[in-house]
Amino acid sequence: MALRQHEGKTIMYTAMGSEWRPLGHPRRKRPISSVVLDKGISEKILGDCKEFVGNPGWYTERGIPYRRGYLLHGPPGCGKSSYITALAGDLGFSICVLNLSERGLSDDRLNHLLSVAPQQSIILLEDIDAAFVSREDTPQQKSAYEGLNRVTFSGLLNCLDGVASTEARIVFMTTNYLERLDPALIRPGRVDLKEYIGWCSPHQVEQMFLRFYDGDKAPAQAARFTERVLAFEKNVSPAQIQGFFMFFKHSDPEEVIDNCKMIWEL
Ligand SMILES: Nc1ncnc2c1ncn2[C@@H]1O[C@H](COP(=O)(O)OP(=O)(O)OP(=O)(O)O)[C@@H](O)[C@H]1O
């Protein structure tokens, strides 16, 4: 009954004390095609996850813990969170969001939470760089973190290594700053697939346009829009383009093309 009620929806969980609670109402599944990534990236990650979820035997036969870690890195507003949400929907998984910087989240509590996470869920550790400083950072930077009741770096590594269960365990981490992460955190076994989710490529600009505008003229208009945007030689995120299209949502596509410099001004 509960399952049928949530069909077509993605449940987000947040940690409350030592348990997981649904965060708001289940969200309508976001189609994975609505997140426009550069060519091949979405297929690569989705394919990897499906392969993993569909082959428990491969892991047990080899005595390998049945878990897989992913890291999406890149600038803000390029679709990391949106993609993970859409991916969860596609897999029929829920998402357990953990904020490692949260005060009061000790190593023990983290360990417990990971072991009681709902079945068929993705564990999402967002902005993983904010929780820890790299071992190469200065003592001053490190001391800012001391004295807080928080997860320790080695505690997190232990928890990640210990996340083993008979069902598929998928952990996603995101960061805007790959270079700030300690190599120990992202070594194979903890992070098995790393993917850069970056500023829009020409392909993405064009696809974003086509998601908003249709009709016979749309392909030619999308090509012109892309050319104009690229002529500025500025980085642009899908979130910026989306915001721009929303601003012009009642306008004619030609007006949208003519005003594309506003992408960076809204
Ligand atoms: N690649 C994309 N395709 C379609 N929409 C996108 C894409 N990237 C971002 N958006 C839109 O921009 C907004 C912000 O995106 P999102 O939160 O997924 O970015 P993010 O990369 O996770 O950013 P941050 O690093 O700040 O967490 C969302 O409303 C989303 O719909």
Please give the ipTM for the structure prediction.
0.97
Task: Kindly give the number of the ligand 1 atom that is closest to the alpha carbon of 176.
Answer: 25
Reply yes or no on whether the pLDDT at 5 is more than 70: no
pTM: 0.90
DSSP-based three-state secondary structure for 173? strand
Work out the angle between the directed axes of helices 202-212 and 238-247 (0-180°, nearest 10): 30
Q: Which of 6-10, 76-80, 218-222, 250-254 has the lowest mean pLDDT?
A: 6-10
Going by alpha carbons, the residue nearest to atom 17 of ligand 1 is 81
Q: Which of 54-68, 95-109, 139-153, 155-169 has the lowest mean pLDDT?
A: 139-153
pLDDT, tens digit, for every residue of 13-44?
Answer: 999 988 999 998 888 888 999 999 999 999 99
**CA 35 to ligand 1 centroid distance, Å:** 8
With cut-offs at 50, 70 and 90, classify the pLDDT of residue 164.
Answer: low
Ligand 1 lined by 207 (C-beta under 6 Å): no
List helix spans (H) across the chain. Answer: 2-5, 41-53, 56-62, 80-91, 107-115, 128-131, 139-143, 153-162, 202-212, 218-231, 238-247, 253-258
With cut-offs at 50, 70 and 90, classify the pLDDT of residue 246.
Answer: very high
Ligand 1 lined by 200 (C-beta under 6 Å): no
Residue 38 CA to residue 211 CA, distance in Å, equals 15
Reply yes or no on whether the pLDDT at 105 is more than 90: no
Ligand 1 lined by 242 (C-beta under 6 Å): yes
- Ligand 1 site-directed mutation target among 82, 83, 204, 210, most atoms within 8 Å of CB: 82
Which residues, 6+ apart, have CB-to-CB distance to 27 below 8 Å?
9, 10, 11, 12, 85
The pLDDT assigned to 1 comes to: 41
Task: Kindly give the number of the ligand 1 atom that is closest to the alpha carbon of 72.
Answer: 21
With cut-offs at 50, 70 and 90, classify the pLDDT of residue 60.
Answer: confident
pLDDT, tens digit, for every residue of 118-153?
Answer: 999 999 999 998 887 555 555 555 555 555 557 888
| High-pLDDT (> 90) share of the chain, % | 65
**Mean pLDDT score of the chain, rounded to an integer?**
89
With cut-offs at 50, 70 and 90, classify the pLDDT of residue 174.
Answer: very high
The pLDDT assigned to 87 comes to: 97
Cα–Cα distance list, 8 to 24, 34, 94, 169 (Å): 16, 15, 11, 21
CB 70, CB 192: distance < 8 Å: yes
Reply yes or no on whether the pLDDT at 2 is more than 50: no
Which residues, 6+ apart, have CB-to-CB distance to 259 below 8 Å?
248
Ligand 1 lined by 239 (C-beta under 6 Å): yes
